[in-house]
Chain A
Amino acid sequence: MIVNNINDLKAWKKQCPKKADYKINVLVCNGTSCMSSDSEMIAKMIEKELEKRSIEAEIRIIKTGCFGFCGQGPIIKIEPDDITYVQVKVEDVNDIVDSHLVHRTLVERLLYKEPNEKDQIKDGSGMKFYKKQMRIALRNCGEIDPENIEDYIVNDGYLALAKVLEEYSPEDVISIIKKSSLRGRGGGGFPTGLKWELTRKVKSDQKYIVCNADEGDPGAFMDRSILEGDPHSILEAMMIAGYAIGANHGLIYIRAEYGVATERLRKAIAAAKKAGLIGENIFGTEFSFDIEIKLGAGAFVCGEETALIHSMEGLRGEPTKKPPFPSEAGYRNKPTSVNNVETFANIPAIIINGPEWFSSIGTKSSKGTKVFALAGQIRNNGLVEVPMGTTFNEIVYEIGGGHPEGKEIKAIQIGGPSGGVITKEFFDMEIDYDSLQSKGAMMGSGGMIIMDEDTDMVQVAKFYLDFTQDESCGKCTPCRIGTKRMYEILERLVNMEGSPEDLNKLKVLGENIKSTSLCGLGQTAPNPVLSTMKYFKEEYEAYAYRTKKRAYSIDPNLCVGCTKCARNCPVSCISGSVREVHIIDESKCIACGACYEACPVNAIIKP
């Protein structure tokens, strides 16, 4: 099908196969996470089994993008029955086909069971994990086949672009986005409409739209899931942005590590080109647009827009001073608007539903939804999209299901290596850009790492600093040398070789790096340290005053002498015979925690 105008698109939409055309739709998650647990194989086997039984015509298998509930993968959803099966294995295929698809009886053992509750849950919407979610950016993820353009068209795909080209002037588009109050989802939260307006205002023969898909924050994977699950929405949004700022060329800068996402983007671009949706005179208008993919090569700093632009030009990904901003002189020195994947994913929905709809969701300063990646010590790992203003308590305990072993959660690290920690006293805080900033953290790209009572916050800070000092591009001194010195101080502290003076040094150094570094990487690198120092001062002091107890011990009143701890100790530092109280040699203990995990009566005391 070749689309020459909006009517062609509408006619195409009518012809496209819909879910309703099939008796049953079997949605198999083919996100990276589920694929690593053989979901691709599972889909293939279901297909084969259906062919064997000659029922393949009435049942469609859809290999979708990420459902979000990655901790329970691989996931299979069956529509219209609205049944979700979790942790499906290759061996379960026969049961699903025979029982469910042929005889229409549930395979109960594969249903999800809410912890501490008896009943199994049949449908996705009934799961606590999904109840509080609202999916805008992830609207098509887990719903459609990302490699089939017709699946996107059926869900109003490219309709927003058609509407924009037929009904709106570029200025109208900018004012709609401004009215929606959409802010950049990549980190800083800069208003998207304003960014476009600034880029539009600069006069130039050539401008560029760049999609920043260099998702580098450890613990964040929303951009990848969107690209894998709904690549066309990004292409459509880039063209809308191109029309708004007056650009006819788009570039997607994507991490080389994201193989599946890159492949799906390539296929999506090819399919859109074939349909005339990317190319010359789109929808029969004057507007032409082309999109190319630029691969990264593993450098965290390239998430910073000036560094990203240099990397796209085939240079070392080092940042440059702003101004000039990319909106004035970006890629090839031409005005460039760099927007993040999740930001783009919101655009078509805003155009179709209107800016008022979007700005009615969220808090006073932050509108719409945000996708968070839940990871760490939490029962339900995965991607969640919630309205701005949702509290940490709701995300951690209602959606996330709390700690997997019921331990106390003491902090959440948000915003990756640029962010900070939120402690449990603030878990009832409504999350938005400004509330996080007021607590010394930041939205970042939305990675949330849940940390329990056992987590050593000084080690966590050291982990982040190890990351940033390694990823520092080396161009400016405060970041290159400062972060290294901070790391050395932290190392000294955890090796019990530090002194109380070090704490002050860390603080002063951190503040100086923040105020003098060239780009966002350096300006935010000390945040994990400063924020953990603020809220967990006693943990730092324990190291600085060398009072930190580093060995485990055994409560003699609780020990039953089962010998399990001694058998599990990797350095054999636990002595004692059967039915006698055991003793840990504290000078040999390496604090690995193996005994703690092994003890059946909770007699091991943590350091």
Chain B
Amino acid sequence: MIRKILDMSTLDKSLLNELDDYILSLEGKKEEHLIHVLHKAQSLFGYLPQNLQLYIARKLDLPAARVNGVVTFYSFFNEKPVGKYTISVCMGTACFVKGADKVLDRVMEVTGTKKGEMSKDGLFTIKDVRCIGACGLAPVLTINDKVYGKVKPKDVDDIIRHYRSIQNDRK
């Protein structure tokens, strides 16, 4: 097997500085804060590529395997890049019995993207998520922090169109 050498020099320096400052501000045993550090890193970089995981491991004086073990254990962390908007379709029970699977199908169809992947234009990442606890609004999907409730498959087109149009306006 060919070993891939992880190149940490490609990581954005100013973001790394911000991450360093955050790590410095932590009190007590650094390794106990690993999950918080990963949250911070993901909010800065958008995702956790392997070279960034290695950087964090060195910084916290932990084996890289331990960091990777934690990253891959928790569903919140992404090792692959994510789109500008993450569309999360809730697959909790309440949403499921109200047809969330059909909503997800429509989302995948309209964006032309599979579950867990990023659309070609880098705009959307499609995810199915565990219950977000807005069961009264089932079925629910969220786009970044915005929650859409009582979504019907046919509503999906308008929602996606809205995000595409904001993007075009910016251009």
Binding site for B on A (CB under 8 A): 32-33, 35-37, 70-71, 73, 215-221, 224, 256-259, 294-300, 311-317, 373, 375-377, 381-382, 413, 416, 447, 449, 451, 455, 460, 463-464, 467, 473, 592
Contacts of B24-43 to chain A: CB distance below 8 A = 31-36, 38-39
CB distance B98 to A376 under 8 Å? yes
Can you list 7 contacts pairing A with B, beta carbon distance less than 8 Å?
A216-B131, A298-B77, A315-B34, A317-B73, A376-B97, A451-B97, A467-B130
CB distance B69 to A316 under 8 Å? yes
CB distance A299 to B75 under 8 Å? yes
CB distance B74 to A295 under 8 Å? no
CB distance B70 to A315 under 8 Å? yes
CB distance A375 to B136 under 8 Å? yes
- B132 close to chain A: CB less than 8 A: yes
CB distance B130 to A314 under 8 Å? no
CB distance B138 to A375 under 8 Å? yes
**Smallest Cβ-Cβ distance to B66: which chain A residue:** A315
The distance from the CB of B27 to the nearest CB of chain A, in whole angstroms, is: 9
* 19 new A-B contacts at CB < 8 Å, known A216-B130, A295-B39, A413-B93: A32-B133, A32-B134, A33-B136, A220-B131, A256-B76, A258-B133, A259-B145, A297-B35, A298-B74, A298-B130, A299-B75, A300-B130, A314-B31, A375-B138, A377-B98, A416-B93, A449-B97, A460-B97, A464-B93
When A and B form their complex, which 8 residue pairs have the shortest distance between CB atoms, in order from nearest?
A70-B136, A36-B147, A375-B94, A221-B133, A297-B74, A218-B92, A314-B34, A218-B131
User: What is the size, in residues, of chain B's interface with A at 8 Å between Cβ atoms?
Assistant: 39
- With known contacts A33-B149, A220-B131, A451-B97, A297–B136 Cβ distance under 8 A: no
Give Cα distance in the complex from A315 to B73, angstroms.
9
Contact partner of B134 (CB less than 8 A), chosen from A36, A312, A464, is A36
Q: Hey, which chain A residues are within 8 Å of B129, CB to CB?
A: 257
- With known contacts A33-B137, A36-B146, A256-B76, A449–B94 Cβ distance under 8 A: yes
Q: Hey, which chain A residues are within 8 Å of B36, CB to CB?
A: 294-295
- B55 close to chain A: CB less than 8 A: no
- B47 close to chain A: CB less than 8 A: no
Contact partner of A37 (CB less than 8 A), chosen from B73, B132, B133, B149, is B149
**Smallest Cβ-Cβ distance to B91: which chain A residue:** A218
Q: Hey, which chain A residues are within 8 Å of B31, CB to CB?
A: 314
**Smallest Cβ-Cβ distance to B149: which chain A residue:** A36
Q: Hey, which chain B residues are within 8 Å of A316, CB to CB?
A: 69-70, 73
- With known contacts A36-B147, A375-B93, A219–B39 Cβ distance under 8 A: no
CB distance A224 to B93 under 8 Å? no
- B148 close to chain A: CB less than 8 A: yes
- The proximity string for B residues 65-87 relative to A, scoring 1 for CB distances below 8 Å and 0 otherwise, is 00001100111110000000000
Q: Hey, which chain A residues are within 8 Å of B69, CB to CB?
A: 316
**Smallest Cβ-Cβ distance to B77: which chain A residue:** A297
- With known contacts A32-B147, A221-B135, A451-B97, A295–B130 Cβ distance under 8 A: no
- B45 close to chain A: CB less than 8 A: no
Give Cα distance in the complex from A331 to B136, angstroms.
35
CB distance B93 to A463 under 8 Å? yes
Give Cα distance in the complex from A377 to B136, angstroms.
11
Contact partner of A381 (CB less than 8 A), chosen from B70, B91, B135, is B135
User: Which residue, of B38, B69, B94, B146, has the highest number of chain A Cβ atoms within 10 A?
Assistant: B94
Q: How many A-B residue pairs have CB under 8 A?
A: 132
CB distance B73 to A473 under 8 Å? yes
**Smallest Cβ-Cβ distance to B74: which chain A residue:** A297
Binding site for A on B (CB under 8 A): 31-36, 38-39, 69-70, 73-77, 91-94, 96-98, 102, 129-138, 140, 145-149
CB distance A314 to B33 under 8 Å? yes
Q: Hey, which chain B residues are within 8 Å of A224, CB to CB?
A: 133
CB distance B131 to A217 under 8 Å? yes
**Smallest Cβ-Cβ distance to A302: which chain B residue:** B74
CB distance A311 to B35 under 8 Å? yes
Q: Hey, which chain A residues are within 8 Å of B35, CB to CB?
A: 294-297, 311, 314
**Smallest Cβ-Cβ distance to B34: which chain A residue:** A314
Give Cα distance in the complex from A12 to B98, angstroms.
48
**Smallest Cβ-Cβ distance to B145: which chain A residue:** A259
CB distance A381 to B131 under 8 Å? no
Give Cα distance in the complex from A314 to B63, angstroms.
13
**Smallest Cβ-Cβ distance to B94: which chain A residue:** A375
Give Cα distance in the complex from A449 to B92, angstroms.
10
**Smallest Cβ-Cβ distance to A256: which chain B residue:** B76
Q: Hey, which chain A residues are within 8 Å of B131, CB to CB?
A: 216-221
The distance from the CB of B101 to the nearest CB of chain A, in whole angstroms, is: 9
Q: Hey, which chain A residues are within 8 Å of B137, CB to CB?
A: 33, 36-37, 70, 73, 381
User: Which residue, of B39, B93, B132, has the highest number of chain A Cβ atoms within 10 A?
Assistant: B93
Q: Hey, which chain A residues are within 8 Å of B147, CB to CB?
A: 32, 35-36
Q: Hey, which chain B residues are within 8 Å of A256, CB to CB?
A: 39, 76
Q: Hey, which chain B residues are within 8 Å of A73, CB to CB?
A: 136-137
The distance from the CB of A446 to the nearest CB of chain B, in whole angstroms, is: 12
Contact partner of B39 (CB less than 8 A), chosen from A32, A297, A313, is A297
Give Cα distance in the complex from A381 to B134, angstroms.
10
Q: Hey, which chain A residues are within 8 Å of B135, CB to CB?
A: 70, 219-221, 373, 375, 381, 447
Give Cα distance in the complex from A71 to B97, angstroms.
16
Give Cα distance in the complex from A298 to B128, angstroms.
13
CB distance A449 to B93 under 8 Å? yes
Q: Hey, which chain A residues are within 8 Å of B32, CB to CB?
A: 312-314
User: Which residue, of B131, B134, B140, has the highest number of chain A Cβ atoms within 10 A?
Assistant: B131
The distance from the CB of B143 to the nearest CB of chain A, in whole angstroms, is: 11
CB distance A218 to B94 under 8 Å? yes
Give Cα distance in the complex from A70 to B130, angstroms.
19
Give Cα distance in the complex from A516 to B97, angstroms.
31
CB distance A314 to B93 under 8 Å? no
The distance from the CB of A566 to the nearest CB of chain B, in whole angstroms, is: 18
Give Cα distance in the complex from A413 to B96, angstroms.
13
Give Cα distance in the complex from A537 to B150, angstroms.
33
